[in-house]
Every structure is written in structure tokens, then in C-alpha cells.
Homo-oligomer: A and B are copies of this chain.
């Protein structure tokens, strides 16, 4: 029973693979305007130091985005770059700490694994709550290690746990309904 059910669930959440330039820029502009609003608000409140801090944070975030974009992993990078613009029940953030082994990865395999996991998680979380998935990417013993840390509430934790247990190369660090973390090597 589990398998067909899982396939059905995974198919049900669509992801946009045909972004137009106008759409991409609309989303990017919206994000940047929100950041600018933060700087503007702090300047209006006569807090230039806080505004400067915010600028530093934005620069660091842009550097992460730039690192991700410079990898030769176009499908995977596009998935992460656009994920928060789509209708999902959780948000993602990412940190790329090392990147030497990342260019040797298989873009399609990486994309397939992540999109499947994202779709599964979309089905498994309690909708319309604040859920966050943090992805940290670093090198480890001549392979790339992805550390995934979820904070939120799962309504269907068994679905996620069983799927993760069926996957190779996973080391579970912590597991409960509101927080789980694991490593996966590629």
C-alpha cells in the first residue's frame, strides 16, 4: 500500500520548471525590495548601525546565492533559488561552506533526490504553519555532505521517516515530529 500512495503524493505537488525572465525578475525584485525596506525603516528610525548590519547580512546571503549559481549544477541551483517563490508549505535556506567536490556531482541525480524529498515534505507537514528546512552543504572525505535540518510540525511523520529509511547514504542525527536532522552524502 505504501508505495502507490507515496507516488501519488509526490506527483501531486507541482514545481515550476518554466520560469520566464519577467517572472524571475518579479520575484527577485520583490525579495530585494523587502530587504531595502528593512534598511529604509532603520534609517528612518535613525539607526544607521542597524542598517549597516542588515546590509552585511544581505551581502552574505548574496554571496551564498552566488556560490550556488557558480556550481555547474544548474537544475539543482534553480530548484533552490526559486523554491521559496513557489507555493510550498515550508521554506528553505541554504549555506554552502565548501564547494570543491560539488562540481563533480550529478546535477540530475541531485535534483531528482531533492525534488522528491521536497514534494514528500510538502505533503507531510501541517499546512499553513511556519516550517523551515535548512540545507548546509560541505565537503567531507572526498564527497559532498548535505546536512538537512527541519524545524516545524509534521502531520505525517511516518511518511517522511519511512522514505528516509529507504534511502541510501543517510545518517539520521535527530528525529521527532517537530525537528529532524540528517546527513546525506552524494
Q: Spell out A's residues near B (CB within 8 Å).
A: 19-22, 24-26, 28-29, 32-33, 36, 39-40, 43-44, 46, 48, 51-52, 55, 58-59, 62, 65-66, 69, 74, 77-78, 81-82
B residues less than 8 Å from A62 (CB atoms): 29, 32-33
Instruction: Say whether B24 contacts A25, CB under 8 Å.
Output: yes
Indicate how many identical chains form the complex: 2
Instruction: Say whether A51 contacts B43, CB under 8 Å.
Output: yes
* Docked CA distance A26–B32 (Å): 14
Instruction: Say whether B22 contacts A74, CB under 8 Å.
Output: yes
Most buried by B among A22, A52, A69: A22
* Docked CA distance A77–B24 (Å): 13
Min CB distance, A65 to chain B, in Å? Answer: 6
Instruction: Say whether B43 contacts A55, CB under 8 Å.
Output: yes
Which residue of B is nearest A61, CB measured? B29
* Docked CA distance A28–B19 (Å): 15
The 3 closest A-B pairs by CB, nearest first: A21-B78, A24-B24, A48-B48
Given the interface contacts A21-B82, A22-B69, A78-B21, does A55 sit within 8 Å of B28 by beta carbon?
no
Min CB distance, A178 to chain B, in Å? Answer: 33
* Docked CA distance A51–B32 (Å): 16
B residues less than 8 Å from A21 (CB atoms): 19, 24, 78, 81-82
Q: Which one of B28, B40, B44, B48 contacts A28 once the chains associate, using CB atoms below 8 Å?
A: B28
* Docked CA distance A66–B29 (Å): 8
